[in-house]
Structure 1
Amino acid sequence: MTQILDHSGTAHLLRREDALGAHNYKPLDVVIHRAQGAWVWDTDGRRYLDCLSAYSAVNQGHCHPRIIGALTQQAQQVTLTSRAFRNDRLAAFYETVTRLLNFEAVIPMNTGAEAVETAIKLARKWAYQVRGVPRDQAQIIVMDGNFHGRTTTLVSFSSEAQYKEDFGPLTPGFVRVPYGDAAAIEAAITPNTAAVLFEPIQGEAGVIVPPEGFLRAMRDVCDRHGILMIADEIQTGLGRTGRWLACDHEQVRPDVVILGKALGGGVYPVSAVLSSREIMNLFRPGDHGSTFGGNPLAAAVAQASLEVLNDENLPARADELGRYLRGRLHALASPLVKDIRGRGLLIGVELHAAARPYCEALRDLGVLCKETHETTMRLAPPLVTTREDLDWALERIEQVLRG
């Protein structure tokens, strides 16, 4: 293990974590002790600008006072009832999320992966009961480079070999096509096709933005063939790309939308699947559930998280700051940079070399970001970040990328 912090207490924490924990992550060696807004502090008191936002789970900034207030107030009243009984916070959350996202019905879950699994079950049930697909023959079209979570079913249709290796037998029922190719989607459709599942921007794949018009073309294909369009907006939704949903950039309305990450405001895991009343009504009592999904604490936090995004106009802020950040990055004209892509405050800087050393160098200068797919640095600061914060980070990014 590389030790980059000389504080004996911090080094001890690193050793304990590596000795006792599973080694399924390779984090940068910085131990975060507290956080506020766009900034975090390590156990030595060093301050860092957070340019990852917990993979877009902290769009509203760390420890937003309104979200923390909702959390603490609700935690002193009732936190968990299960769905065996009703609670007094769920209806208000339902009203807020359906109104702001313009959908008729919602089913709450906890994590993003659970929400994707929920959407898959909903699509399959729709295929059998509405489309008339023979029982147990439904297929869902997915994309090369996809990342929808780590459950056994979700890794089954990943194009990453490591995600699947030694985790079989894999779940059938998925057909993978090239990302960004509406013609390939149409060619893959059969009478057994239930839906297309996609990310409007592929974050884990390296912040891959599809060709302009792809989402609209996919919507047209789904309409022509009478199949569902399911958007995984777990990472791209709730303001991250400069719109409430990344699909809004092409004025496309999916049949099903999956939310997570920022829905919990960075303080509590909350996810949800949104759809029409007609489609959601296919679920009957006993078809699906979760002990924690829709609990009063989650509902209170999610409602506050959505209100912060709306009241502080954070999607528009992400659009403005994202344009500024991308413009400044392009102006660097570094020979190390192969490509800069993204929307809003979800930006990938692809390098001609491995990105990990540059992320480590930025960490040493007080900027936290993370590599994805080996050669891409992902920059995704909280939407409450200021232009002054970005200027501060850009000075250090320029220093690292220009050597």
Structure 2
Amino acid sequence: MSKLTIRISDGAADIPREAWTALCAPGHPFLNGDFLRIVEEHGVAVPDAGWQPLHLVASENGKIVGLLPLYLKGHSHGDFIYDWSWKAVWERFGHRYYPRLVSGLPYTPVAGPRLLIAPVASDRSAVCDALITAAQGIVAGNGFSTWHVALASSADIDAVAASGLLVSHDVQYQWSDAGFGDFDGFLQSFSAEKRRKVRAERRRAAESGLRIAVRHGDEIDRDEWPVLHALYKSTFDRFGNYAAFSPECFAELATTLGDRMVVFTASDGDETVALSLCFRSDDTLFGRYWGARRQVDSLHFELCFYRGIDYCLRHGLTRFEPGAGGEHKIARGFTPQIVRSAHWIPDPEMRRVIAPHLERQKLGIAAYHDDARSHLPFRKP
């Protein structure tokens, strides 16, 4: 008879790399022990930064058969739950909101599996239930306010909802290949007016005289990262936000992930003046960070959107997720997609307060999604 046990790991490095490899999608740049280990070891996701790793590890007869990435969060930065207003609600009812638990990827708004279950597990649903119960037990045992499962896959949302978690909804904009062949083929799917606008933007970027290049992580020298990092950081400084990653963290991610990191740069002679930093899986490109030393007409669209689409078409990737937010993506061929997160609220009173809010949000997001689709640039049938 198999024996299932759950333990808490205080860091991704504590979990054998082969376990991550066996449980995660092959080639995924984020759902692996390398990414989480590096961001933890470089201070991006550590207790001093408000991220305390409490990863749940399920073992069956001594063999790891399940993982649930889990962090104790002292704030709402970088987890994309968008629960900033919840703190005031909890305090209004005499409760403390922080810290709370989050299952997700630090500073990475990428949807996907969160309950990682091995195909060889004797009872996969039992492993799933055990991980969910363990997370709920940590909340109850420590008096935490909530447990959030950020941007989970549909299967995981169904599993946690069946265990009593409430579901929230949001919209992201994503590109998918409909057999376009190349970038010109993609533009042929646009209406004539929208097609002219994209071509005009690309022409203005080309007329800037900047040299645009694309390289993978293992093609970038370590001593280049301070310059590239300064471009990344400039965007956060401009808006008064916190740039979580360090040059050393980016350098190790680049070396370790290799061609799973994709960097688009624009240079003026020997000076790099802009970058778009992306990651990729076997079938999807993920846009993450943008930075520039100076304003250049349409350069943001060229580096962050058009070059990414072109990369996908050249390399056989079928999806491009350029990150959270940004209605301007609609006119450039990115289709609105509904993504979901889930929330365990053990306090009955707070659950009664939040549940109607999430139901109203669901209706609002559905209406917004439908309206946004009506503004897509594609030719009408």
**TM-score with structure 2 setting the length:** 0.25
Normalised TM-score (structure 1):
0.24
More strand by share: 2
